Amino acid sequence: MYAITMYDAFLAEHQLSPSYIESAQQWFNPIINDLIKHTNSATPLFVSINGSQGSGKTTLASYLQYTLIHKHNKRVVVMSIDDFYYDQQTRLQLSNSVHPLLKTRGVPGTHNLKLWQSIMNALTLGQHCRIPKFNKAADNPYPQEQWQAITGKVDIVIIEGWCMQIPPQLDEMLTPAVNQLEQLQDPDLVWRRFVNHALGEYQTLFQRFHYQIMLKAPSFSVVHAWRLEQEQKLAQRSIDIADHALGIMNEKQIADFIAHYQRLTEHALQVLPPLCDIVFALDMQRQIKSVQRNQVSFITQQALPLIFTDLDGTLMDHYNYSSTAAYQALNYCHELEIPIIPTTSKTFAELLVIRQQLNLDGPFIVENGAAVYIPKHITLSLKGRCEDKGNYWCYSLAPKRAKWLAIVDQLNTEFHGEFTHFEAMTTLALTAATGLTFPAAKLAKQREYGEPILWLGSSERREVFITRATELGASPISGGRFIHITGESDKATAMKWLLAQYQRHFVGKEFLSIALGDGPNDISMLEQADFACQVRSPTHPFPPLQRALNAPTYQTKLDGPAGWNEYITTYILKITEEIQHG
């Protein structure tokens, strides 16, 4: 009886029946035990709760806080991501400068990230801060004097929100439209791209959380009914009649409102469960059906992994250049902060676009190892050792393109009509030869170091051509589609140089190289990496490798990005799931 009595105030505040406590103790007390074990450090434990609108995440956060305070004497702060919404005026400015849909609060890009980060920093350091509070009825923040003041050390910080921990989509996943709102009001994808890019910026904050909880709705279709119930509770609690008249939504307004959330809610239901520590599967009445506990870690804790990956035919599909099939593994790597380093024949200009599409922000290796680019936000102490190229440091391992074009001119005399090359091809011709879009083909032509050759002659003459190019001073590399006329640099040399920079900067830490590729131009990298994966190609057999007998080597059963996903999730990451049904 004591347990129910202790929760009387809690039940009254949230308009709940006593049966809620019995269910909460069954399902949620194991979370409390987890949190108690990890609250003895000098800094607070950060906990995130994800759930669609009306799923019960606010009630869960309040239950955890109430129990941790009254039963375990912990100092707990609860916040909602909703409380960091921009005010109406700021959203109006966004709607005028970017897209009209940004006038509506809710989606990534409508939160004050700077304020959120400053609050998290203050809580981490035990400094005084005020927790913002948003008035949904008035659609504006409350005055600052009404914000909760926090002073001193906090044990646990719980932040709940509908988009907490959701990873951004790949650019190719932004089509087709998921509802009429997107179809009619965002036909050019301006709003979708802005929101997705903004969500990428949230990831830095998401990575600061130690424990991640998800309340998983059965589908997006139930969200309307849940949100309607939530709005009715808001109306009952609203004391200010003027605010009530202005801000409380009717049923149709709710349907229009939640359409803004549909894409990312459905995305979260699909991809987020494996990335959370604990997932509660809900039925249509928001009762818990089952709980799933997840644990994802790297195969070894003794060294930190760096993943060096080819793109065409490996992380990107050979025919349509899609990476969707590798999305699960990409998210795991982001979650564990494992660097994914594109190591490719593609150009710097191409990589700027592709990295954004894949949500990558780390180093990359271009033109078959001719150069390594390192973003300046990565602190590897490279000033004076590399060429300064704006936002990047560049370390070149090969001579510039002019030298190789001169050799190609000599080869053209002897092999005239048997090949063409990027410099001689129009963008339209390159599009036809590669399947690239016209804009992507224009980027592919912006080469700095080597020159790709499209061979048109016989296979016998192809070997003669490669021999002759070597005699003229080139080091030809055969890729999935082209012969690359370049210097003695290769992917392995670039990989080892970058690995050495990590080793030199992070003294006392060990790093492992993991290489994935499908073509002959990947052989050197695959042979010298600590772990090697040959990704199956739909167009050619696995190139032969010469690795030590005890060196870990894997050949995927699936093609391209599906094979990439297969290897990372099966052999590089340790993924465990424990499911308990109610």
How would you label 455-494 residue by residue, b for 16+ Cβ within 10 Å and e otherwise? beeeeeebeebbebbeeeebbbbbbbbbbbbbbebbbbbb
Catalytic residue ranges: 310
CA distance 543 to 521: 9
List CB contacts of 110: < 8 A, sequence separation 6 or more. 85, 86, 91, 94, 102, 104
Strand order in the sheet with 304-309: 340-342, 304-309, 511-517, 531-536, 553-559
Closest CA to 120 of 182, 241, 247, 210: 210
Helix pair angle (190-206, 262-271), 10° resolution: 50
DSSP assigned state of 143: P
List CB contacts of 166: < 8 A, sequence separation 6 or more. 50, 199, 264, 267, 268, 271, 272
What the block records as the tokens of 44 is: 């607070």
What the block records as the tokens of 559 is: 């093609």
Element (H, E) at 206: helix 190-206
Phi, psi of 388 (to 5 degrees): -85, 115
Q: Calculate ∠ Cα 39-44-48, nearest 5°.
A: 95
Closest CA to 50 of 253, 280, 334: 280
List CB contacts of 67: < 8 A, sequence separation 6 or more. 29, 32
CA distance 542 to 514: 18
DSSP, collapsed to helix, strand or coil, labels residue 276 as coil
End-to-end CA, the chain: 24
What the block records as the tokens of 318 is: 């050979």
The answer to whether residues 379 and 472 touch, using CB atoms and an 8 Å cutoff, is no
Q: Give the count of beta carbons closer than 10 Å to the beta carbon of residue 112.
A: 17
What's the 3-state SS for 71-92?
CCCCCEEEEEHHHHECCHHHHH
- 455-458 — which CB contacts under 8 Å span 24+ positions? 455/418, 455/419, 455/482, 455/483, 456/417, 456/418, 456/419, 456/420, 457/415, 457/418, 457/419
Q: Give the count of beta carbons closer than 10 Å to the beta carbon of residue 286.
A: 18
Strands (E), 12-93: 45-51, 76-80
